[in-house]
């Protein structure tokens, strides 16, 4: 079954999605992409939703914003919770990374968003939280509840844990390495994540070199049982 670009977890539109092993789907998608058999409508599903209002995009942004929070882009921003000032994963380009042509993930994002929103809906029901009907369920959760829910997704035994692990790694890559950009160009453009780390700049030729790298003096006594080559005995 192809991934659904709409919002299938929305109350009234369909039942919550059956839990799927997205990693299996990922594998299948890789095979389809390799064979050139993926329907264009499916691979274009996320591309068609590129605006900040897209259901999938909002959900993935809210997920990433819970991992690495940033400030709201505008007063009407709902995907970003606005828990801090300064940049977060969304500003750092998490959507560009998740939809990178280097990764086979884009066609699966609607499914993954649906899975997260189903979890958010269940969480909200359990905690008697009223969700706005116009937003994806996860986006409708306040920041502290997003945080609590997200923490539980990584519990050992969570059936979809692997999906959230892969997404977390990619969110980290977007912020900490500007994964969708050449590092030098990202630094030139003041990529928010690399700037946040104060990532050192390269030399004029685009390569890194550190002529000053050492305190240059003996700072400890070596172990008495060290071999001539410097190994432990």
For residue 232, which phi and psi values (nearest 5 degrees)? Answer: -70, 150
What does the alpha-carbon distance between residue 81 and residue 62 come to, in Å, rounded to a whole number?
7
Which part of the chain contacts another protein (CB under 8 A), choosing from 10-18, 40-48, 111-119, 147-155?
147-155
218 binds another protein (CB under 8 A): yes
Residues from 107 through 146 that contact another protein (CB under 8 A): none
Alpha-carbon 28 to chain mean position: 21
Return the residue of 9, 26, 59, 135 that touches another protein, per CB under 8 A.
26
159 lies in the site for another protein, by CB under 8 A: no
8 binds another protein (CB under 8 A): no
Whose Cβ is closer to another protein: residue 130's or residue 204's? 204
116 φ/ψ angles, rounded to the nearest 5 degrees: -65, -40
Residues contacting 92, CB < 8 A, separation 6+: 68, 70, 174, 175, 178, 191, 192, 193
Q: How far is the CB of 186 from another protein (least distance, A)?
A: 8
Q: Measure the CA–CA gap between 118 and 141, rounded to whole angstroms.
A: 12
82 is a site residue for another protein (CB under 8 A): no
∠ CA 221-225-231, nearest 5°, is 90
Candidates 2-10, 47-55, 71-79, 173-181; binding stretch for another protein (CB under 8 A): 173-181
| Beta carbon of residue 225, minimum distance to another protein (angstroms, whole number) | 7
Interface with another protein (CB under 8 A), residue from 52, 83, 122, 129: 83
Contact call for residues 198 and 187 (beta carbons, < 8 A): no
> Of 84, 122, 129, 160, which one interacts with another protein (CB under 8 A)?
84
Helix axes 109-126, 143-152, angle to 10 degrees: 110
Q: Does 190 bind another protein (CB under 8 A)?
A: no
Contact range with another protein by CB under 8 A, out of 71-79, 112-120, 121-129, 175-183: 175-183
175 close to 92: Cβ distance less than 8 angstroms:
yes
Among residues 59 and 177, whose Cβ is nearest to another protein?
Answer: 177
């Amino acid at each position: 079954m192809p991934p659904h670009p709409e919002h299938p977890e929305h109350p009234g539109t369909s039942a919550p999605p059956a839990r799927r092993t997205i990693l299996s789907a990922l594998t299948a998608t890789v095979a389809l992409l390799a064979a050139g058999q993926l329907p264009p409508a499916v691979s274009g599903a996320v591309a068609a939703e590129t605006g900040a209002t897209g259901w999938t995009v909002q959900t993935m942004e809210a997920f990433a914003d819970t991992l690495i929070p940033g400030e709201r882009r505008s007063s009407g921003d709902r995907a970003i919770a606005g828990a801090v000032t300064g940049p977060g994963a969304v500003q750092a380009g998490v959507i560009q990374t998740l939809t990178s042509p280097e990764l086979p993930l884009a066609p699966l994002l609607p499914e993954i968003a649906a899975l997260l929103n189903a979890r958010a809906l269940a969480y909200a029901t359990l905690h008697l939280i009223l969700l706005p009907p116009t937003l994806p369920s996860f986006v409708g959760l306040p920041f502290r509840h997003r945080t609590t829910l997200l923490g539980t997704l990584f519990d050992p035994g969570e059936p979809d844990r692997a999906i959230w692990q892969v997404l977390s790694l990619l969110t980290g890559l977007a912020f900490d390495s500007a994964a969708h950009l050449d590092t030098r160009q990202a630094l030139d453009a003041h990529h928010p994540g690399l700037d946040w780390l104060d990532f050192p700049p390269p030399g004029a030729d685009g390569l890194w070199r550190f002529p000053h790298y050492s305190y240059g003096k003996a700072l400890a006594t070596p172990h008495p049982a060290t071999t001539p080559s410097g190994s432990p005995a």
